[in-house]
Amino acid sequence: MSAAHAPASTQQSPPTSPVPAAAPASRIADPAPLGLAAFALTTFVLSFANANIIKVEPVVFGLALAYGGIAQLAAGMWEFAKGNTFGATAFSSYGAFWISFWYLTGHTDLGSTNANDIGNSLGLFLLAWAIFTAYMTIGASRVSGAVLAVFALLTVTFALLSWGDFAMSENVTHIGGWFGIATAIAAWYASLGGVTAFTHGRAIVPTGARE
């Protein structure tokens, strides 16, 4: 009697769905050069008025809102998206500074206010920004030499402008204006370093970046 042979069992792999291709990672451009440029240009124009070189203060109102304010605030928001706490804090804060400056100088009636009270109020406003900038300078020391120079000069600028308002001294305010011009030039330089590093694919302008 021949033994019956059972048919060999065949195993079939369960059907699988095709693996979707990974979505390309989103690439956010470095927002720091924009933030620095917006800060630099607005500070440069206002500082000419503070230094009493030319009377351009009304011209800065539009810059304070659009470039120094909105553009710099946008740079700060993109720094949040990139996970850069220092850049997000700096650009968002100084963007808010310029928007508040635009409102205070162009949309408030100070004509009936005592001049001494105005000086004390503006002096306190600028002193608070000097304190903020001073501790941001500590963080800037870990970014680059160029950014550190911006924050160090800006701290002195705010301190001098605050002193000028408290003391109602035009001479001190004029000195603060000159420091503001130096601050703007340093910020432009730092912005240039970021732009050229991207366009050339390597560092072209030395900024003393911290590794």
Contact 14, 159 (CB under 8 A): no
For 38, how many CA atoms within 13 A lie in the half-sphere containing its CB?
Answer: 29
Taking the model in full, what pTM does it have? 0.85
Q: Structure tokens of 37?
A: 């440029």
- Pairwise CA distance, residues 155 & 195, whole Å: 25
Residue 187 or 116, more confident: 187
Interval 19-74: pLDDT, tens: 545 444 558 899 999 999 999 999 999 999 999 998 876 788 999 999 999 999 99
